[in-house]
Amino acid sequence: MSPAFEIESVIQEATINEKISLLAGKDFWHTHPLERFNIPSIRTSDGPNGVRGTKFFGGVPAACLPCGTGLASTWDLELLRKAGMLIGEECLAKGAACWLGPTINIQRSPLGGRGFESFSEDPYFSGKLAGSYINGVQSKDVVATVKHYVANDQEHERVAVDAKVTERALREIYLLPFQIAIADSAPGAVMTAYNKVNGTHVSEDKRLLQDILRNEWRWKGLVMSDWFGTYSTTEAFNAGLDLEMPGPSRWRTGIANLAVSSRKVTDETINDRVRNVLEFVQRASKAKISLTETVRDFPEDRKLNRQLAGDSVVVLKNNASVLPLSKDIKQIALIGSNLKNVAFCGGGSASLEPYYTISPYQGIIDKLGKDTAVHYEIGAYSHALLPILSDGLTTPDGRPGALISFFADPPSVCNRQVVDQLSIREAFFQLMDYRHPQLETLYYATVEGFFLAPATGIFQFGITVYGSGNLFIDNKLVIENTETQRPGTSFFGKGTAEEIGEVDLVEGKTYHVRLEFASSPTSKVLKPGVVAFPGGAGRIGTALKINEEEHIRRAARLASENEHTIICVGLSKDWESEGFDRQDMDLPGNVSRLLSAVVEANPRTVVVTQSGTPINMLPWADKTTTQVHAWYGGNETGNGLADVLFGDVNANGRLPLSFPRRNADNPAFLNFRSEGGRVVYGEDIYVGYRYYEKVEREVLFPFGHGLSYTTFEFSDLHVEKTRVVLKVTNTGGCAGREVIQLYIGADEHASRISRPKKELKGFAKVFLEMNEMQEVIIQLDRFATAYYDEILAKWVNEKGKYKVLIGKSSANIVLEGDLEVEETVVWSGL
């Protein structure tokens, strides 16, 4: 039921201070209420692959869906709508009426830290997927917040960097996903990016927020800032930023009243901002949210999440027909760190506490018979930071996990009083949304637990903090990270580098682990262009020190002795995260050497990689026969992968990104990262496959690529003015799903401007039994032949003949037809 207030009455009767209070958050996750007018507080929640609730640590567990690139790999609009419905239900369970997603920025480079959150390098594809995802969420009356508007395509100095981009590229590549998503789904909110675009921070850019978003696209909804992404009072008000998040406000307090009284901001502007906020509150209030944060984890949710994970898996190679594997094999070798250390999501705002996770190891084991002999070897570590201390860790009273105690006084104060205590499942905490009335900005915490050593040997312990901290094992100082601190990448870029100490442990013996922590004001790490947040954060990691040369030899020997070998390696949330970009495309440490050794020992090895964006697969990829890419698959990561490996699900995922052979081949190679506070989008409209095809540069795996265990034939192409019709037949030996990709190619010589060789302008996915044929219809919209004319400041559908190209990937075109545009049409708007 909508709250009983009338918007225009509130605008007429509320004081200026009451109005201004509505234009900033109350706290980290909630909008500000006005009880006098019966205006409730609305809860928001991250993230793009799940709903965290209101806590970054120690929160209520949640469903975790595959990452954005994983969802996009399904190429399935109906499935994404169902995924959105699950997100909507999770929001209701967590008491959130506004979901902060989806992320639809463009992966200019494989190195972008949040590339895994977004869908694709292709703007049309991204916009269509986002529209379906949002429609699913909003079918539950939850408001979706499409983000980050616009050009937040790197993490380096993200709050300071100025994205220098041409108007054509801005329109055709970076704004287009938002334009299409808004047209298809009318999201209730838009979140502004941290960065500048062509000289102005987006949260202060009237042209982007008013002229384009509201006036040209006729969109009505709430414009909110990214968290701590408001940088002014007057400029942000006048540009069209409705809501500053989070609260308490930094910019919309007494200084905002002064801005109004000095007429830097008019009453009419304040009223416009208030009206948008109140319309948002009324819309969000329709959601039937839980009064407390609760869990769902229903069987039907698990089934859907498992389908999402399985349908996202992409079979890249199957040259020796090794896949699908038999469940009745007598023995199998399982190799690699990602088999047991489940990489289920990326880092930053996308991370959450999952209901459960299924590792690839567990998913594979569950498929095999009881008589199968399983041999495991890690081979080489792939962590960026030592794995978080969790297994074998118990609190002082014997529960799993650790105890964190908060104090107003430092450890040097005798008999200091405990202010608060919380149990945490692992030795990781992030306090940006933690508050206690007895704690000021500067406070202290002790994290402690008892660790049962799983082996005898030298264990490495590591700590990284945003704040400061010292680690003690059995009351002996092992790591000092207080006085001398090195900048690192953790905690949205505010954390220290990991400091490591070594301790001899004995298997079966218990050790007291204690971290003495002080909050963020004690940090000595200074890094420009990075968002600061209150409270601070900390993390304890540990791992047995191993001789990787010996383990690689053992892995290769194991592979040579087993006909059936699976190696699973890749990245994790410590490598791909909000707050920093990757330095290169390489796999961690000695992992690439491990892969080469294993593939050489057994060329039939099934190579499984995990990452959210492209990784360096050379030189071993040229020697593989069987290769699979699995992304970050959420709760059901291992089950989804195993379903495909063993054929319970016929492989049907397709790449939403081009996988270049080398980082130096990618179009943004010379123009990525902030230099002097700016980044030049020098590749212009030639992002991803548009670039590789234009310069005729070979890629390792092309956009849209993916194999099936059956075969499909496309035929009988008919091109009409507004649609394309063709037939698809399953000509193989089992049922399966096929993706039909429709590209439009302009006549480069006849066009007035440079055009890509072809662009994706439609797609469909069908399920076919053996020998089944189905007619497929793909509608053509006005974006099919359009480009953006900078002189006219409008979209142009240019007169001429265009190629209609039907493919199984951008590099595998199997049918061609012609489309004629009889007269040039100029247009603007959605």
Among 223, 122, 115, residue whose Cα is nearest residue 692 = 122
Indicate the DSSP class of residue 210: I
CB-hemisphere CA count at 13 Å for 119?
31
CA dihedral 49, 53, 56, 60 (to 10 degrees): -100
CA dihedral 612, 614, 615, 620 (to 10 degrees): 120
Do domains 393-544 and 710-827 share one topology? The answer is no
Q: Residues 362, 364, 367, 373: is their CA dihedral positive or negative?
A: negative
DSSP string, 648-712: SS------SS-EESSGGGSTTTTS-S-BTTEEE-TTTT--THHHHHHTT--EEE-TT--B-SS-E
Residue 308 tokens read as: 């999402």
Residues 6 or more apart whose CB falls under 8 angstroms from that of 377 comprise 333, 334, 335, 551, 554, 555, 558
Whether the CB-CB separation of 730 and 712 falls below 8 Å is answered with yes
pLDDT at 797: 97
Residue 738 three-state SS: strand
**How deeply is 531 buried, as exposed, middle or buried, from its count of CB atoms within 10 A (0-12, 13-18, 19+)?**
middle
| pLDDT tens by residue, 703-712 | 999 999 999 9
% of the chain residues with pLDDT over 70: 100
pLDDT at 132: 98
Q: Beta 825-827 vs 794-797: how paired, if at all?
A: antiparallel
pLDDT at 2: 62
CATH class of 393-544: mainly beta
The pLDDT-based confidence of 585 (bands split at 50, 70, 90) is: very high
584 assigned to active site = no
- Would you say residue 529 has pLDDT above 80? no
pTM, whole model, 2 decimals? 0.96
Mean of pLDDT values over 454-474: 97
The pLDDT-based confidence of 57 (bands split at 50, 70, 90) is: confident
CATH class of 1-39+187-286: alpha beta
pLDDT at 533: 83
Q: How many residues does the chain have?
A: 830
- Find where tokens 């050593």 sit: 453
Q: Where are the domains of the chain?
A: 1-39+187-286, 393-544, 710-827
Q: Report the C-alpha gap between 350 and 52 in whole angstroms.
A: 9
Residues 6 or more apart whose CB falls under 8 angstroms from that of 823 comprise 799
pLDDT at 665: 98
CB-hemisphere CA count at 13 Å for 224?
33
- Would you say residue 488 has pLDDT above 60? yes
Beta-carbon count within 10 A of 672 CB: 24
CA angle 488, 490, 493 (to 5 degrees): 70
Whether the CB-CB separation of 570 and 382 falls below 8 Å is answered with yes
| pLDDT tens by residue, 234-284 | 999 999 999 999 999 999 999 999 999 999 999 999 999 999 999 999 999
The pLDDT-based confidence of 530 (bands split at 50, 70, 90) is: confident
| CATH homologous superfamily for the domain 710-827 | Immunoglobulins (2.60.40.10)
Q: Which of 162, 184, 205, 226 is catalytic?
A: 226
Q: Give the CA radius of gyration of the chain.
A: 27
| pLDDT tens by residue, 168-208 | 999 999 999 999 999 999 999 999 999 999 999 999 999 99
| pLDDT tens by residue, 71-102 | 999 999 999 999 999 999 999 999 999 999 99
| pLDDT tens by residue, 672-705 | 999 999 999 999 999 999 999 999 999 999 999 9
Q: In what order do the strands lie in the sheet with 98-99?
A: 44-45, 98-99, 143-149, 189-192, 222-224
